[in-house]
Amino acid sequence: MYSHLYKRFLSHHKGIQHFSSHSHHYWPDVTREAMLEYWDDCAKYVDNKWPHFFQHKLPETQTFIANTLNLSNPKQIVFAPNTHELLFRLISCFDLRKPLRILSTDSEFHSFQRQAMRLEEWDSISVTYVPQDPIESFESRFCEALQEQAFDMVFFSHVFFNSGHLSGNLTNIVNAVPNPQTLIAVDGYHGFMAIPTDLASIENRIFYLSGGYKYAQGGEGCCFMAVPNHCQLRPLYTGWFAEFDALESSRAEEVPYSDTGFRFAGATLDLSPVYRLHASLNLFKQEGLTVNVIHAYIKDRQRLFLEHLEQLEHPYLNRTHLIYNSDRDHGHFLTYRLPTAQIASNLQAQLEAKGVLTDCRGDRLRFGFGLYHEGEYDLEMALKND
C-alpha cells in the first residue's frame, strides 16, 4: 500500500525482511531530493544561507512538528543533531554546584542512563529510578514517587525503548508533579509519528524531546525539543544560535538568549537533516498519513505478525516470551525477552543470516514495523535450524 514511497531503499534490500524500522527506518524517496535541495540552496545563497534557512525551511519544519503534537507555538521548537545535546542543555540550566535531585525510570535509553550515572559520581547529584515493571502499575507508582520527596528534574519516556510499553497518560503524570518549578522532560523518540500525541494541555509544563531518525523517517542528525512558552531558563551549555535573532544588537552585560525555543540552540550545524525531515513530514501530509492512520496500519501489521508466529510454535518467539499486553496501546515494535542475552544474540544472528533483520538489546529481541511492510509475513525458513 505504501511501499512505492520507499523504492530506492527497497531496491537495495531485495529479499530482506526489515524488522529494524523502530531503530533505523527506511527513508522515503523524497529525502534524496531534499539532500540535493540543501546542496542547491547552499550553492545559491552561500553566506546568506543562514537567514534563508531560518526564514523558510526551519519555520516550515517547526510547523509540521507543532501540528503533529498539537502545540500552539511552532517557534518554541528548537533543533539539534541529537537529543543528548538538548538534554544536557536542560541539565546545564541548574547550578550544578548545588544539590540536584532527579526522578527517572530504570528503562531510559543509554544516552540518558550513561549521563545519569556519570552525574551521580558527584555527591551533590542523586537520581531515583522507578522500575518499569510491572507496567500495569507504572503510572501510579511513578506518581507516588513524585510525592515522596521534592525533585528538581523529572525525566521519563513516553514509550519505553526496551519494551514498547507506554509509560501511561502523560497529562496525569505531569499533573502529579507537585512543584511547579520542577523541570519535566519527556523522551518522545518512540512516540513521535508513531503514537497519537496531543500535548496541548501540558505544552507549558514539559520539555518534549524527539527526532527524525525513527518513525519520522528523515534519518539521523535532526532532533528537536519543544520548549514551554515564556521559558526564561538560561542554559550554561549554549551557542551562538541561541541569540541568532539578536546578533545585530549591541553586546549586553549579561549573555542574551532568544525569546523563543531557540534559547536552547547550539552552534553551527549541518541542516541537511532538517531538509530530509521536512520532506518526510510534508510527504505524510500530502499522502494523508496522519499519526492515527500510521498507528492503525502498524497495529494491523503487528497482529498479522503475531498470528504468523503462533502458527510456527517457536520455542522462544512465542506469547510466553512476548512483552506485550493487547489491552494496552503499544509502540511500533514488539519485544521478546529471552532466557539469556546469548540466546537473544544467537537468534538475531540466525535471522540475519536468512535475511531477517532485527534488533537485539541484551536479552531482548525487538521486531519493528514500518509502512513499507506489505503482504504476509514468512519467517518459517529463517527460524529453522540447519
- Tell me what pLDDT residue 137 has: 96
Tens of pLDDT, residue by residue over 78-129, are 999 999 999 999 999 999 999 999 999 999 999 899 999 999 999 999 999 9
Mean pLDDT of 243-267: 82
Report how far residue 29's alpha carbon sits from residue 279's, in angstroms, rounded to the nearest whole number.
9
- Tell me what pLDDT residue 253 has: 77
- Tell me what pLDDT residue 101 has: 98
Amino acid type, 385: N
C-alpha cell at 86: 538538548
Residue 123: φ, ψ to 5°:
-60, -25
8 A C-beta contact, residue 108 and residue 187:
yes
8 A C-beta contact, residue 27 and residue 372:
no
Amino acid type, 104: S
Residue 348: φ, ψ to 5°:
-60, -45
Report how far residue 159's alpha carbon sits from residue 324's, in angstroms, rounded to the nearest whole number.
13
Q: How confident is the prediction for the chain on average, in pLDDT? A: 95
pLDDT confidence tier of residue 248, bands split at 50, 70 and 90: low
Upper half-sphere CA count for residue 116 (Cβ side, 13 Å): 21
8 A C-beta contact, residue 378 and residue 32:
no
- Tell me what pLDDT residue 24 has: 84
Tens of pLDDT, residue by residue over 365-383, are 999 999 999 999 999 999 9
- Tell me what pLDDT residue 251 has: 59
- Tell me what pLDDT residue 246 has: 62
Mean pLDDT of 284-306: 97
Mean pLDDT of 12-17: 95
More confident residue, 249 or 142: 142
DSSP string, 182-220: SEEEEE-TTTTTTS----GGGTTTEEEEEESSSTT-S-T
The residues that bridge with 159 in the sheet, in sequence order, are 166
- Tell me what pLDDT residue 247 has: 58
